[in-house]
Amino acid sequence: MSTGGTVRDLRETAHAAQVRELVAAGALEDPDWRAAFAAVPRHLFVPWFWTGRGAGHERLWGEDPDPELRARWLRGVYADAPLATRLRDGELVSSSSQPSLMAKMLEALQVRDGDNVLEIGAGTGYNAALLCHRLGEDLVTTVDLEEEITESARAHLALLGYRPTVVTGDGARGCPSRAPFDRILVTCTLPLIPHAWLGQCRPGARILAPLSTGLIALRVRDPDFAEGRFLHTSAYFVPLRGATASPHPVGTTGPLHGVPYDLVENERFQFLLILTAGVLHPREALDLWRREDRPARERFGVTVTDGGQWSWLDDPQGPYVWPLGEPAEQV
């Protein structure tokens, strides 16, 4: 067997193993998405990635002359983990999301045959390829801020013969020329929902987006109203860059005065802190956390109107309602 054949076999074996693992973990319950993940190999979209942190970043790539480094690259590509695919001055600019999270988000998007989908954050193009397999390339539009990223995504997609609409632009503005959309899938963390998206959606459209450290699923009623709840799944993405850059970076809540040490790193408590940053002081958030019996993400929701945006606990008309997008207050 030739060396090229051996490498190809290893990649195909690793790809098949990843799909089996995602199915076994319950991340791919929908047979249509199982077929998409089986048809779209991740290694074509991640020809290289970086490991490590700060100055210690190491670049691994699939054509490295060192067979051990190539093997590390392949193991990384088909691990159920996010991968840093583009850095600038040591800071993460773009990544390939954790495959199990991608699968959960695609299933939660609840697409139907014929749905027109807008993806915010093209990244490597891997997610767009999965959408193309499921829906057809004519129904997929993906947007990213930088031409370097969109050119790379377009090239990766072409390797599998997919040619969706790939747009270089500010994702916060959507893509009016391709509207109306039935679904909007967001792969970057938001400080609030860009209002422009609602006007580009059909009534009943679904928007799935990372907000705080969770995933909000909104149903669009009309250009001036959308509402929905968070999924139980946690989600960590590169922040949206462009017109609606966050007024308080995700994870920044100020000093946590009065918060017990064991809660400082508690994922669900951090979700509440970030969601209410600039509105509740950490001590107030802690009182609410205890009073409401440590509420899970799915008890929270978001309402978007032409007059503002709010997060809420249990009921949008209830006692716990907070404005989104407020500047963080240092306490």
Catalytic positions, written as ranges: 94
Distance, in Å, from the CA atom of 220 to the CA atom of 205, rounded to the nearest integer, reads: 5
Determine if residue 283 is left, alpha or beta; phi over 0 gives left, psi from -120 to 50 gives alpha, anything else beta. alpha
Q: Among candidates 247, 233, 272, which has minimal Cα distance to 98?
A: 233
Residue type, 106: L
Distance, in Å, from the CA atom of 171 to the CA atom of 244, rounded to the nearest integer, reads: 9
CB neighbour list of residue 325: distance below 8 Å, 6 or more residues apart: 191, 192, 247, 309
For 56, phi then psi, to 5°, come to -90, 10
Integer CA distances (angstroms), 214 to 70, 309, 317, in order: 34, 17, 21
User: Distance from CA of residue 232 to its chain's centroid?
Assistant: 14
Contact 302/216 with Cβ under 8 angstroms?
Answer: yes
